Amino acid sequence: MILLMKLVFLCCCSKRELVSAFTLQDEANLQASILTGYNKDLKPGWDRDVPLQINIMFFLFSIKEFDFNTGKLSVTGLFFINWTDERLAWNPTNHNHTNMTTIPQNKLWLPEFINVNPYDDLTGIRQDHLTIHLQYSGMCAWFAIQSFEVVCNADVTKYPFDTQTCALRFYVWGYFSHEIDLVISSPEVDLSLYVENSIWEIRDATIYLRLDYWKNKEIIVKLEMKRRSPYYVVSLIIPIMAVSFLMAFVFILPHDSGERVGFSTTVLLSIIVYLTIIQDLLPESSEPNISALGYLLVTYVVSGAFVVVEVIITLRFHRKSSENPVPRCLRCILIFFRRKRRKNVSVKPIGTCSKTNKTDNDENGGDENNEVQWGEVLTLFDTFCFIFTLFVFFMSALIYLCVVLT
C-alpha cells in the first residue's frame, strides 16, 4: 500500500512535468478560479450525511531526545494526509491542461490534528510554511512535517538493557466520528527516511486507531525502542562488579599491614560513587518499578558496610593479648571445626586397633584441653567472612543478570 501511494504521487509529479503546456499565468488563473468563494472554515463534502474520509500515513525521520528524568521524548516525523475536496476540482482542458497545483495550507480547509500527550502545551501540526498539493480531481495531499515532544514514562527496571514503549496520540479536533472517517493507509510506520539514533534502536513502529471513551477515533503512533547497551556494559556494569569483587579480598590482607580499614573504606566509597551516578541518570519516580541496577548497588553498599564492621572486629581480635582467654563460645566453635578437619581416618592393621582407638580417644579428648589461641579464631573468622562476601557478590550479580536478561 505504501509503495502504491508513492508510485501514484510520483506519477502525478511526472505527469505534471510531461504536460508542461500550461504557464505561470494559467496556474495563477486556476487558483483564482477555484479559491473564489471558497470557505476554508467548512468541511469538504456535498453530502453532509457521509463522513469525510481522511487517509493517514506516518514517516519517522529521527529520535532527537529521550530524557528519563523528565519523561520527555522528542521525535521528528511527517504525516502524509490526503482527502478529497470537491469544491477544488476543475477540468484541466479549461485551464490549458493544468492538472496539478500547490496552494499554501492557510488558504484551504485542513483537519485539525492535535497532539493530546504533549510535553509542554497542546500543539497541532499546522505550519504556515507548509503547502497542499492539489490535483484536478480535488484530491488534497498534505505533507505535514514537524518535531513532536510528548510525555513518555520510562520503565527502568532492566536498565541499561531496557526496552521502552512510547506513543504519540492525536485527535482530529472539532469533529465527531460521524463527520470524519479516519483511515490508516499502512499499519507500519515508514522508516525509509529514518536516521539511526546512537542510543536507541527501533524494534517496532506502528500506527493504528483506537476508540476512546466517547467512541471517537484516536490516532496512536507507537514506538518500541531498545537501548544500545554495549557502552553501558563497558563503562558501568563491568567496573561496578570489578570494584565490588575486590571487597572480599580485604580479608586476605595481613593484619599487621594496617591497610585493611583503608582498603575496605575506599572500595565502599567507590561503590557509593557509582550509586550516585546511577541516581543522576534514572528518574526519581518508583513506578512502575525501581531499577534492578539500583537494587544491586544498594546490596553492594550494605555488604560493603558490613565488611568495614567485620574488618574492625578482626583488628580488635588481632590486638587481643595472649593473656586474655578466648571466650567459651568461640572455643567451642573452633574445636568443632578442628574435629571436622580430622574426619579422614586412615586404615590401620587389626593388631593395632586398641592402640589406635586409644590414640584417637586421646586426640578427641585432647581437643577440649588444647589451648585455643586468638590467632586461630581470627583465621577462622577471616575465612568465613571471605567466603560469605564472595557468596553475596556472586548471588547478587546472578540475580541481577537473570532479571535484566530475561
* 285-332 confidence digits (pLDDT tens): 656 678 898 889 899 999 999 999 988 888 877 776 556 666 666 667
Phi/psi region, residue 174 (left: phi>0; alpha: psi -120 to 50; beta: rest), is: left
Q: What is the pLDDT, as a whole number, of residue 378?
A: 78
Residue 202 has pLDDT above 90, yes or no: yes
The per-residue pLDDT of the chain, averaged, comes to: 83
- Per-residue pLDDT, 358: 43
Higher pLDDT, 359 or 131: 131
Question: Which CA distances in Å does 198 have to 66, 76, 206?
Answer: 12, 15, 21
Could you give the CA distance from residue 30 to residue 95 in angstroms, rounded to a whole number? Answer: 7
Q: Determine the Cα–Cα distance for residues 405 and 157; give it in Å rounded to an integer.
A: 11
pLDDT of residue 225: 95
Q: Percent of the chain scored above 90 by pLDDT?
A: 49
Q: Is pLDDT at 220 greater than 50 in this prediction?
A: yes
Helices (H), 286-373: 292-318, 328-341, 353-369
pLDDT band at 34 (very low <50, low <70, confident <90, very high): very high
Nearest to 44 by CA among 168, 123, 132, 125: 132
Compare 332 and 87 and report the one with higher pLDDT: 87
Alpha-carbon distance 199 to 107, whole Å? 41
**Which one is predicted more confidently, 326 or 221?**
221
Listing DSSP states for 25-71 in one string gives HHHHHHHHHHHTT--TTSPS-S-TTSPEEEEEEEEEEEEEEEETTTT
Integer Cα distance of 315 and 320 in angstroms: 9
The grid coordinates of residue 5 equal 501511494
pLDDT band at 164 (very low <50, low <70, confident <90, very high): very high
Instruction: Inform me whether the pLDDT recorded for 82 exceeds 90.
Output: yes
8 A C-beta contact, residue 130 and residue 105? yes
pLDDT of residue 254: 84
Residue 88 has pLDDT above 70, yes or no: yes
**Residue 191 pLDDT > 70, yes or no?**
yes
103-138 exposure pattern, b = at least 16 Cβ within 10 A, e = fewer: bebeebbbbebbbebebeeebebbeeebbbbbbbeb
Tell me the average pLDDT across 121-133: 80
Instruction: Return the pLDDT at 136.
Output: 94
3-state class (DSSP) for residue 158: coil
Taking phi first (over 0 means left), then psi (-120 to 50 degrees means alpha), and beta for anything else, what does residue 97 get?
left
How would you classify the pairing of strands 100-104 and 72-84?
Answer: unpaired
* Amino acid 123: pLDDT: 77
What residues pair up with 211 in beta bridges, in sequence order?
217
Kindly report, residue by residue over 36-76, the tens digit of the pLDDT: 999 999 999 999 889 999 999 999 999 999 988 888 999 99
- Predicted confidence (pLDDT) at residue 162 exceeds the cutoff of 60: yes
User: Is residue 250 scored above 60 in pLDDT?
Assistant: yes
Q: Looking at the predicted structure, is the pLDDT value of residue 169 above 60?
A: yes
For residue 361, what pLDDT is reported? 43
List, in order of start, the domains of the chain with CATH numbers: 15-228 (2.70.170.10), 231-337+368-404 (1.20.58.390)
* Cα 32 from Cα 309, distance rounded (Å): 88
φ, ψ of residue 187 to 5 degrees: the values are: -75, -15
pLDDT digit string (tens) for 340-377?
Answer: 666 544 444 544 444 444 444 444 444 444 566 666 77
112-125 tens-digit pLDDT: 899 999 998 877 78
pLDDT for 85 beyond 90: yes
Q: Output the pLDDT for position 1.
A: 45
